[in-house]
Amino acid sequence: MVWVFGYFRASWTLRVDMVADFVCRLLKHMDATGAKQVTPQLREDEKDMPLSEWIDADNFNPGYLMRDIHLMPRSGNTREWQHTQDYWGEKDEFPEIDLTDGVFRYDANRPSGNA
């Protein structure tokens, strides 16, 4: 499962397309290495980072989202753990993501569940 959320103040698909390209690259890497699942994990120096709401309510705050913001993922204080609205930065950053970085925990076992 991949959770995708586009930009709020720009074309939704700009970000969704970048995420889709990243996911395809990740799936190819997983296939090449025999991984059946991957889970992002915090680096050691990020374990105690302050967490905040997933989005900045001063930037985007529709009622339907604010009512259940507590159910959304949390945001960290480093760029990798934030949902930015910066297309111009992300368009260069997404293709450069290192799939061998220790932040990605690969597992050769199939995920458990009802799938």
Write down the domain spans for the chain.
Answer: 12-107
In contact, 99 and 24? CB cutoff 8 Å: no
Rounded CA Rg of the chain: 16
CA distances from 89 to 4, 84, 85, 100, 112 (A): 18, 9, 9, 21, 36
Q: How far is CA 25 from CA 3, 47, 63, 74, 98, in A?
A: 16, 27, 35, 25, 11
> What pLDDT does residue 115 have?
52
Could you list the mean pLDDT of each consecutive 10-residue stretch along the chain, which spans 115 residues?
82 91 97 95 91 81 86 87 88 95 91 61
pTM above 0.85, yes or no: no
pLDDT at 29: 98
- Report residue 88 as tokens: 């111009």
At 51-79, the pLDDT tens digits run 988 887 777 788 888 899 889 888 888 88
